[in-house]
A and B are shown apart, each in its own frame.
Chain A
Amino acid sequence: MRLYYYSTTESDIPAMLKDAGIDVWQKPSDANLSLIDQTGLSFLEQVDGMVLEISDPDQQINYFLAQAILQRKPTLCLYKKNQNPRQLLTYLRNKNIPEEIIVNAYTSSTLEKYAADFLKSLGLQEEKEETPNIKFTLRITSKIESYLNWKAKHEKINKADYIRKLISEEINKDNKFNQNNEKK
């Protein structure tokens, strides 16, 4: 999961997002700039969403929001509860603003919840909330064992986590299974 973060002021938000396992971009060099140059497509095509701290908006924030609105890119707009960006909020409360643009007034106690809700809306949190608690015995070949040992050592991940990760990726790719689940 990759998000672009921008603010005109210092904030704990990027650190909080990174702690949640999100790949957070904050500067141009984080992106694949040559892809942007070659195709002419917006940098937003390379991220899953944006988080903008809009307590003290500038021209750049308005520009990013304009792009997000046009492309319906999931965007979380956060502002401090005692620091309303009045003019910007007037636009963000317009009925034509797409539902992908979420606006929240936050305090130190509510910030994490709003971020978590946003990440959940992007499909991230569901998996993290599930704790593996079902025992499953799997007999493997020596070749597979050798590979798992090598992988665990080189990627600094334990073998069980690695296998769970592989299967989770297969689940996400399996449209038939996911469609079947939605019907239930």
Chain B
Amino acid sequence: MAYKRSKILLIYCGGAKLPTADQKGLEKWVDGFIEIAMMADVKARFIYEGPGSEVGRDQLIQIIREIRKNYNKYDGFVITHGLDNLLLNSSLLSFLIQKSGKPIVWTSAPVIEAKMKAQKPIKKIFTQYQTLGIKANLINAVQSATIDFAGPCMMFGNRLLLPVRTMQGFDSNLNVFSSWQISDLGKIQFGIQLAPHASRRSKTKPSFSEEYEQDIKIIDPNLGLTPERVLTGEEKGIIIKSLSEDPEFLLEKIDKKVPILIYTQGQIKDSPKIISAQGYTFEAAQAKFMWAMAKTQSTRELKKIFKNNFIGEI
């Protein structure tokens, strides 16, 4: 008996080398990608071609609108994106599209320099994988979008990860990302094995929002991003990323009229003037701050939001 093929919407936001950087080029590329055509009925939408660092508000809003418009027509969604900012943007969209009863799978091309530390026999295999570019990850991403799984995830290497609990590292293998403080949502070994805590498909109606605050500055002394260099006085919010256990010395240099989120590895003194991002990955903290700032500018209200768990971010 023939099984029912899934319908997948592939939203292209970078990561491959298309014949032309437009819808026609994408369709031609997908037509030649027989592997995914074999796995599912895949339709493609072109949003953007270029590095992940350049994916901005326009592209993110388009992604949200594509998923919203087509939510009932497809069984799952795959989004391609350059490696840079993949964590931040997938985390941000996890807040902007909540309670999805279908999978929304983010993926990208393997890291160019993953072979740096690899042993000789594995180096050869890695080189082969790198020339396959995004295709290897995309096959796994499409497969992830067909199974009994729901919500946002990232498919990279052989891991299925929750974006708001994922950290980036540069190891000697193709698993550039790893889960932080939880186990992976799933693993690709022979097919995809989902973890017990992975959400399953449901008929719940997702919520869609396009509102988030962009004008947030990041102070990171480790990168030379000091208050004097970064702040203009026009920003709506500030994130302090500091390895220091007590970033008080930075706070003294900042005009505290806007909400300030502190991301640090150490303990910080609770204060009505700051919001703590302890227990978060940096990208999840940043994404949640951007999302929450569209709802309120009150530090007191933001503190409450950051103490609450909305999508598994803490």
Contacts and interface: CB of A to CB of B under 8 A. Distances in A.
Q: Answer yes or no: are A and B bound together in one complex.
A: yes
Interface of A: 4, 27-28, 31, 33, 36-43, 45, 56-60, 62-63, 65-67, 69-71, 87-88, 91, 94, 96-97
Contact of B38 (A28, A41, A65): A65
Given A45-B125, A59-B3, A40 B159 contact: yes
B192 to A, nearest CB: 9
B32 A96 contact: yes
Contacts of A33: 189
B189 A63 contact: no
Nearest to B191: A60
B2 interface: yes
A58 B190 contact: no
A41 B39 contact: no
A66 B39 contact: yes
The majority secondary structure among interface residues of chain A is helix
B146 interface: yes
Contacts of A94: 34
A4 B189 CA distance: 13
Given A40-B173, A63-B39, A28 B189 contact: yes
B43 interface: no
Contacts of B39: 59, 62-63, 66
B132 A56 contact: no
Given A40-B158, A59-B3, A63-B39, A70 B189 contact: no
Given A62-B38, A70-B132, A96-B34, A41 B190 contact: no
B139 A57 contact: no
Interface in B165-205: 173-175, 187-191, 193
B158 A66 contact: no
Interface in B60-86: none
Nearest to A86: B2
B173 A88 contact: no
Of B35, B36, B37, B39, chain A has the most CB atoms within 10 Å of the CB of B35
Nearest to B147: A59
B139 A39 contact: no
Interface of B: 1-3, 6, 32, 34-39, 122, 125, 128-129, 132, 135-136, 139, 143, 146-147, 156-159, 173-175, 187-191, 193
B35 A42 contact: no
Nearest to B172: A39
Contacts of A67: 35, 139
Contacts of A91: 34, 37-38
Contacts of A71: 128, 132
B52 to A, nearest CB: 20
A13 B3 CA distance: 23
23 contacts: A4-B190, A28-B190, A28-B193, A36-B188, A37-B187, A39-B173, A39-B174, A40-B156, A40-B173, A40-B174, A41-B125, A58-B3, A59-B39, A59-B147, A62-B38, A62-B39, A66-B36, A66-B139, A69-B34, A69-B35, A69-B38, A91-B34, A94-B34
A66 B81 CA distance: 21
Contacts of B36: 66
A42 B38 CA distance: 19
Nearest to A95: B34
Nearest to B37: A91
A104 to B, nearest CB: 18
Given A40-B173, A63-B39, A96-B34, A56 B1 contact: yes
Contacts of A66: 35-36, 38-39, 139, 143
A57 B3 contact: yes
A28 B188 CA distance: 10
A41 B174 contact: yes
Nearest to B118: A39
Shortest 9 CB-CB contacts between residues of A and residues of B: A40-B157, A40-B174, A66-B35, A40-B175, A39-B173, A91-B38, A28-B190, A40-B158, A40-B173
